Chains A and B, each alone.
Chain A
Protein backbone atom coordinates (compact mmCIF):
# COMPACT_ATOMS: atom_id res chain seq x y z
CA UNK A 1 0.00 0.00 0.00
CA UNK A 2 1.54 3.26 -1.00
CA UNK A 3 1.37 6.35 1.07
CA UNK A 4 1.75 9.85 -0.23
CA UNK A 5 4.54 12.08 0.92
CA UNK A 6 2.11 14.41 2.62
CA UNK A 7 0.68 11.50 4.61
CA UNK A 8 4.07 10.67 6.06
CA UNK A 9 4.77 14.35 6.61
CA UNK A 10 1.72 14.97 8.73
CA UNK A 11 2.38 11.81 10.72
CA UNK A 12 5.86 13.00 11.47
CA UNK A 13 4.80 16.51 12.33
CA UNK A 14 2.09 15.11 14.55
CA UNK A 15 4.71 13.10 16.35
CA UNK A 16 6.69 16.28 16.86
CA UNK A 17 3.67 18.22 18.02
CA UNK A 18 2.86 15.42 20.40
CA UNK A 19 5.77 16.54 22.55
CA UNK A 20 5.44 19.93 24.19
CA UNK A 21 8.57 19.80 26.32
CA UNK A 22 12.15 20.34 25.18
CA UNK A 23 13.74 16.93 24.89
CA UNK A 24 17.26 18.32 25.19
CA UNK A 25 16.46 19.78 28.57
CA UNK A 26 14.95 16.50 29.74
CA UNK A 27 18.14 14.82 28.67
CA UNK A 28 20.19 17.28 30.71
CA UNK A 29 18.19 16.54 33.81
CA UNK A 30 18.52 12.81 33.26
CA UNK A 31 22.26 13.13 32.80
CA UNK A 32 22.58 14.95 36.10
CA UNK A 33 21.68 11.73 37.87
CA UNK A 34 24.74 9.93 39.17
CA UNK A 35 26.07 6.98 37.17
CA UNK A 36 24.10 7.71 34.06
CA UNK A 37 26.27 7.23 31.01
CA UNK A 38 24.05 7.10 27.95
CA UNK A 39 20.39 7.25 27.19
CA UNK A 40 18.86 5.89 24.04
CA UNK A 41 16.35 7.76 21.94
CA UNK A 42 13.37 5.70 23.04
CA UNK A 43 14.18 6.22 26.68
CA UNK A 44 14.48 9.94 26.12
CA UNK A 45 11.20 10.15 24.28
CA UNK A 46 9.38 8.03 26.84
CA UNK A 47 10.69 10.10 29.72
CA UNK A 48 9.67 13.33 28.05
CA UNK A 49 6.22 12.04 27.32
CA UNK A 50 5.88 10.60 30.79
CA UNK A 51 6.80 13.96 32.23
CA UNK A 52 3.90 15.55 30.39
CA UNK A 53 1.57 12.91 31.77
CA UNK A 54 3.01 13.53 35.20
CA UNK A 55 2.36 17.26 35.06
CA UNK A 56 -1.21 16.69 33.94
CA UNK A 57 -1.73 14.05 36.58
CA UNK A 58 -0.28 16.11 39.41
CA UNK A 59 -2.06 19.29 38.39
CA UNK A 60 -5.45 17.69 38.02
CA UNK A 61 -5.24 15.57 41.16
CA UNK A 62 -4.15 18.54 43.24
CA UNK A 63 -6.78 20.76 41.72
CA UNK A 64 -9.54 18.32 42.54
CA UNK A 65 -8.22 17.86 46.06
CA UNK A 66 -7.76 21.50 46.82
CA UNK A 67 -8.58 22.73 50.26
CA UNK A 68 -10.29 25.90 49.10
CA UNK A 69 -12.86 24.66 46.67
CA UNK A 70 -14.54 28.05 46.24
CA UNK A 71 -11.39 29.74 45.05
CA UNK A 72 -11.00 27.74 41.82
CA UNK A 73 -7.28 28.32 42.03
CA UNK A 74 -4.60 25.71 42.38
CA UNK A 75 -1.96 26.84 44.81
CA UNK A 76 1.14 25.54 46.54
CA UNK A 77 -0.60 24.11 49.58
CA UNK A 78 -2.86 22.00 47.39
CA UNK A 79 0.23 20.41 45.88
CA UNK A 80 1.83 19.84 49.28
CA UNK A 81 -1.39 18.29 50.51
CA UNK A 82 -1.57 15.95 47.54
CA UNK A 83 2.03 14.86 48.01
CA UNK A 84 1.34 13.93 51.58
CA UNK A 85 -1.94 12.14 50.99
CA UNK A 86 -1.20 10.29 47.79
CA UNK A 87 0.97 7.19 47.50
CA UNK A 88 1.95 8.00 43.96
CA UNK A 89 3.14 11.51 44.71
CA UNK A 90 4.60 10.77 48.09
CA UNK A 91 8.16 10.99 46.76
CA UNK A 92 7.59 14.73 46.46
CA UNK A 93 7.12 15.34 50.17
CA UNK A 94 10.76 16.28 50.66
CA UNK A 95 10.56 19.12 48.22
CA UNK A 96 7.04 20.17 49.09
CA UNK A 97 7.18 20.97 52.74
CA UNK A 98 4.12 22.61 54.14
CA UNK A 99 4.60 26.29 54.70
CA UNK A 100 4.17 27.62 58.17
CA UNK A 101 4.21 31.10 59.53
CA UNK A 102 7.60 32.24 60.72
CA UNK A 103 6.36 33.11 64.15
CA UNK A 104 4.98 29.60 64.63
CA UNK A 105 8.28 28.15 63.54
CA UNK A 106 10.23 30.31 65.93
CA UNK A 107 7.86 29.44 68.72
CA UNK A 108 8.28 25.74 68.14
CA UNK A 109 12.05 26.22 67.94
CA UNK A 110 12.01 27.86 71.35
CA UNK A 111 9.91 25.08 72.70
CA UNK A 112 12.35 22.49 71.43
CA UNK A 113 15.25 24.35 72.98
CA UNK A 114 13.47 24.52 76.31
CA UNK A 115 12.71 20.85 76.23
CA UNK A 116 16.28 19.96 75.41
CA UNK A 117 17.66 21.81 78.39
CA UNK A 118 21.10 20.68 77.46
CA UNK A 119 22.07 24.31 77.27
Chain B
Protein backbone atom coordinates (compact mmCIF):
# COMPACT_ATOMS: atom_id res chain seq x y z
CA UNK B 1 0.00 0.00 0.00
CA UNK B 2 1.41 3.36 -0.90
CA UNK B 3 2.18 5.77 1.87
CA UNK B 4 2.93 9.43 2.20
CA UNK B 5 5.77 10.03 4.61
CA UNK B 6 7.52 13.10 6.00
CA UNK B 7 10.64 14.15 4.21
CA UNK B 8 12.63 17.03 2.95
CA UNK B 9 11.36 19.05 0.10
CA UNK B 10 13.34 18.31 -2.98
CA UNK B 11 13.80 21.69 -4.50
CA UNK B 12 17.13 21.40 -6.24
CA UNK B 13 15.34 22.49 -9.36
CA UNK B 14 14.07 25.61 -7.65
CA UNK B 15 17.48 27.20 -7.68
CA UNK B 16 18.05 26.11 -11.25
CA UNK B 17 14.88 27.76 -12.30
CA UNK B 18 15.36 30.70 -10.02
CA UNK B 19 11.93 30.22 -8.59
CA UNK B 20 11.02 31.19 -5.09
CA UNK B 21 9.85 28.67 -2.60
CA UNK B 22 6.31 29.91 -2.64
CA UNK B 23 5.82 28.69 -6.15
CA UNK B 24 7.35 25.32 -5.48
CA UNK B 25 5.26 23.06 -3.41
CA UNK B 26 7.61 20.56 -1.89
CA UNK B 27 7.25 16.97 -2.83
CA UNK B 28 6.01 16.55 0.66
CA UNK B 29 5.20 13.35 2.29
CA UNK B 30 3.02 13.51 5.33
CA UNK B 31 3.49 11.06 8.10
CA UNK B 32 0.68 11.08 10.56
CA UNK B 33 2.45 11.95 13.79
CA UNK B 34 3.43 8.92 15.77
CA UNK B 35 5.88 8.09 18.55
CA UNK B 36 8.49 7.32 15.92
CA UNK B 37 10.42 10.35 14.87
CA UNK B 38 11.20 10.82 11.22
CA UNK B 39 13.96 8.31 11.73
CA UNK B 40 12.44 6.26 9.01
CA UNK B 41 14.65 6.64 6.05
CA UNK B 42 12.86 7.84 3.03
CA UNK B 43 15.22 6.03 0.76
CA UNK B 44 13.17 2.97 0.12
CA UNK B 45 10.65 4.48 -2.22
CA UNK B 46 9.65 1.29 -3.90
CA UNK B 47 6.05 1.98 -3.03
CA UNK B 48 4.52 4.31 -5.57
CA UNK B 49 4.39 7.13 -3.05
CA UNK B 50 7.00 9.15 -4.88
CA UNK B 51 7.01 10.95 -8.12
CA UNK B 52 10.73 11.56 -8.29
CA UNK B 53 11.10 8.38 -10.26
CA UNK B 54 9.55 9.71 -13.39
CA UNK B 55 9.64 13.51 -13.22
CA UNK B 56 12.87 15.41 -12.90
CA UNK B 57 11.45 18.84 -12.33
CA UNK B 58 8.58 19.59 -10.03
CA UNK B 59 7.15 22.74 -11.49
CA UNK B 60 3.81 23.89 -10.28
CA UNK B 61 1.33 26.62 -10.94
CA UNK B 62 1.11 29.20 -8.16
CA UNK B 63 -0.94 27.88 -5.30
CA UNK B 64 -2.86 31.13 -4.92
CA UNK B 65 -4.27 30.86 -8.43
CA UNK B 66 -5.11 27.22 -8.00
CA UNK B 67 -6.75 27.83 -4.65
CA UNK B 68 -8.83 30.65 -6.05
CA UNK B 69 -10.21 28.51 -8.84
CA UNK B 70 -11.04 25.76 -6.36
CA UNK B 71 -12.73 28.18 -4.03
CA UNK B 72 -14.93 29.48 -6.83
CA UNK B 73 -15.81 25.98 -7.95
CA UNK B 74 -17.16 24.63 -4.69
CA UNK B 75 -20.31 25.94 -3.00
CA UNK B 76 -19.81 29.25 -1.27
CA UNK B 77 -20.00 27.82 2.22
CA UNK B 78 -17.45 25.17 1.40
CA UNK B 79 -13.89 25.25 2.70
CA UNK B 80 -10.72 23.78 1.36
CA UNK B 81 -8.02 22.26 3.50
CA UNK B 82 -4.47 23.38 2.94
CA UNK B 83 -3.24 19.93 2.01
CA UNK B 84 -6.01 19.69 -0.55
CA UNK B 85 -4.81 22.89 -2.22
CA UNK B 86 -1.24 21.66 -2.37
CA UNK B 87 -2.41 18.35 -3.64
CA UNK B 88 -4.45 19.84 -6.47
CA UNK B 89 -1.45 21.98 -7.35
CA UNK B 90 0.48 18.77 -7.95
CA UNK B 91 -2.42 17.16 -9.77
CA UNK B 92 -2.50 20.09 -12.12
CA UNK B 93 1.10 19.60 -13.19
CA UNK B 94 0.33 15.95 -13.65
CA UNK B 95 -2.64 16.81 -15.82
CA UNK B 96 -0.66 19.17 -18.00
CA UNK B 97 2.08 16.60 -18.48
CA UNK B 98 -0.49 13.93 -19.17
CA UNK B 99 -2.13 15.93 -21.94
CA UNK B 100 1.14 17.18 -23.33
CA UNK B 101 2.72 13.75 -23.70
CA UNK B 102 -0.29 12.45 -25.53
CA UNK B 103 -0.42 15.49 -27.80
CA UNK B 104 3.30 15.29 -28.40
CA UNK B 105 3.05 11.67 -29.42
CA UNK B 106 0.39 12.39 -31.99
CA UNK B 107 2.47 15.27 -33.25
CA UNK B 108 5.48 13.04 -33.75
CA UNK B 109 3.45 10.37 -35.42
CA UNK B 110 2.40 12.92 -37.99
CA UNK B 111 6.00 14.03 -38.43
CA UNK B 112 5.33 17.51 -37.09
CA UNK B 113 7.47 19.42 -34.65
CA UNK B 114 5.07 21.92 -33.23
CA UNK B 115 2.21 20.90 -31.01
CA UNK B 116 -0.89 22.71 -32.17
CA UNK B 117 -4.40 23.22 -30.86
CA UNK B 118 -5.80 20.18 -32.60
CA UNK B 119 -3.24 17.95 -30.94
CA UNK B 120 -4.27 19.21 -27.55
CA UNK B 121 -7.96 18.79 -28.20
CA UNK B 122 -7.40 15.33 -29.59
CA UNK B 123 -5.36 14.36 -26.56
CA UNK B 124 -8.13 15.50 -24.25
CA UNK B 125 -10.67 13.49 -26.12
CA UNK B 126 -8.49 10.41 -26.02
CA UNK B 127 -7.71 10.70 -22.34
CA UNK B 128 -11.28 11.01 -21.16
CA UNK B 129 -11.65 14.77 -21.04
CA UNK B 130 -13.84 15.15 -24.06
CA UNK B 131 -16.33 17.10 -21.98
CA UNK B 132 -13.82 19.97 -22.06
CA UNK B 133 -13.47 20.01 -25.83
CA UNK B 134 -16.55 21.99 -26.82
CA UNK B 135 -16.20 24.71 -24.18
CA UNK B 136 -12.53 25.00 -25.09
CA UNK B 137 -13.27 25.47 -28.77
CA UNK B 138 -15.60 28.27 -27.83
CA UNK B 139 -13.01 29.97 -25.64
CA UNK B 140 -10.43 29.65 -28.34
CA UNK B 141 -12.74 31.28 -30.84
CA UNK B 142 -13.37 34.21 -28.53
CA UNK B 143 -9.69 34.50 -27.77
CA UNK B 144 -8.75 34.54 -31.44
CA UNK B 145 -11.32 37.17 -32.24
CA UNK B 146 -10.17 39.36 -29.42
CA UNK B 147 -6.51 39.01 -30.34
CA UNK B 148 -7.29 39.65 -33.99
CA UNK B 149 -8.85 42.94 -33.13
CA UNK B 150 -5.89 43.99 -31.05
CA UNK B 151 -2.95 42.87 -33.10
CA UNK B 152 -4.11 42.75 -36.68
CA UNK B 153 -1.27 40.36 -37.39
CA UNK B 154 -0.20 40.08 -40.99
CA UNK B 155 -0.78 36.59 -42.21
CA UNK B 156 -3.88 36.20 -40.15
CA UNK B 157 -6.83 35.68 -42.43
CA UNK B 158 -9.06 38.45 -41.29
CA UNK B 159 -11.27 38.63 -44.29
CA UNK B 160 -10.83 42.33 -44.80
CA UNK B 161 -7.77 43.92 -46.23
CA UNK B 162 -5.83 45.77 -43.61
CA UNK B 163 -3.56 47.49 -46.04
CA UNK B 164 0.18 47.41 -46.22
CA UNK B 165 0.72 49.48 -43.09
CA UNK B 166 1.26 46.53 -40.84
CA UNK B 167 4.62 44.89 -41.12
CA UNK B 168 6.55 42.72 -38.72
CA UNK B 169 8.79 45.55 -37.69
CA UNK B 170 5.86 47.84 -37.27
CA UNK B 171 5.38 46.61 -33.73
CA UNK B 172 6.55 49.61 -31.83
CA UNK B 173 4.45 51.29 -29.18
CA UNK B 174 0.80 50.51 -29.20
CA UNK B 175 -1.00 53.15 -31.19
CA UNK B 176 -4.43 53.18 -32.59
CA UNK B 177 -4.32 53.45 -36.35
CA UNK B 178 -7.59 54.02 -38.01
CA UNK B 179 -7.59 52.71 -41.51
CA UNK B 180 -10.28 53.25 -44.01
CA UNK B 181 -10.26 50.44 -46.50
CA UNK B 182 -11.33 50.54 -50.08
CA UNK B 183 -14.94 49.75 -49.44
CA UNK B 184 -15.27 52.58 -46.99
CA UNK B 185 -15.28 50.55 -43.82
CA UNK B 186 -13.23 51.83 -40.99
CA UNK B 187 -11.08 49.20 -39.46
CA UNK B 188 -9.59 50.15 -36.14
CA UNK B 189 -6.36 48.42 -35.50
CA UNK B 190 -3.95 48.48 -32.63
CA UNK B 191 -0.33 48.12 -33.47
CA UNK B 192 0.81 45.92 -30.69
CA UNK B 193 3.88 44.88 -28.79
CA UNK B 194 4.33 41.58 -27.08
CA UNK B 195 4.93 43.24 -23.74
CA UNK B 196 1.37 44.45 -23.63
CA UNK B 197 0.28 40.89 -23.30
CA UNK B 198 2.83 39.72 -20.81
CA UNK B 199 1.52 36.25 -20.32
CA UNK B 200 2.63 35.01 -23.69
CA UNK B 201 6.39 35.44 -23.82
CA UNK B 202 6.77 35.09 -27.56
CA UNK B 203 4.38 35.93 -30.27
CA UNK B 204 3.81 32.83 -32.28
CA UNK B 205 1.99 32.58 -35.51
CA UNK B 206 -1.51 31.34 -35.01
CA UNK B 207 -1.75 28.24 -37.11
CA UNK B 208 -4.99 27.50 -38.76
CA UNK B 209 -5.01 23.80 -39.20
Contact = CB atoms under 8 A, between A and B. Distances in A.
A46 to B, nearest CB: 5
Contacts, number: 255
Contacts of B30: 99
A53 to B, nearest CB: 5
A47 B120 CA distance: 7
B191 to A, nearest CB: 13
B81 interface: yes
Q: Chain A at the B interface: mostly helix, strand, loop or mixed?
A: helix
B interface bracket (residues with beta carbon within 8 Å of A): 35 or more
B61 interface: yes
A45 B188 contact: no
Interface residues of A, number: 78
B42 interface: no
Interface string B129-158: 100100110011011111101100000000
Contacts of A53: 132, 135-136
Nearest to B152: A8
A74 B95 contact: no
Interface in A1-42: 1-5, 8, 11-12, 14-16, 18-30, 32-42
Given A22-B62, A25-B62, A50-B136, A37 B80 contact: no
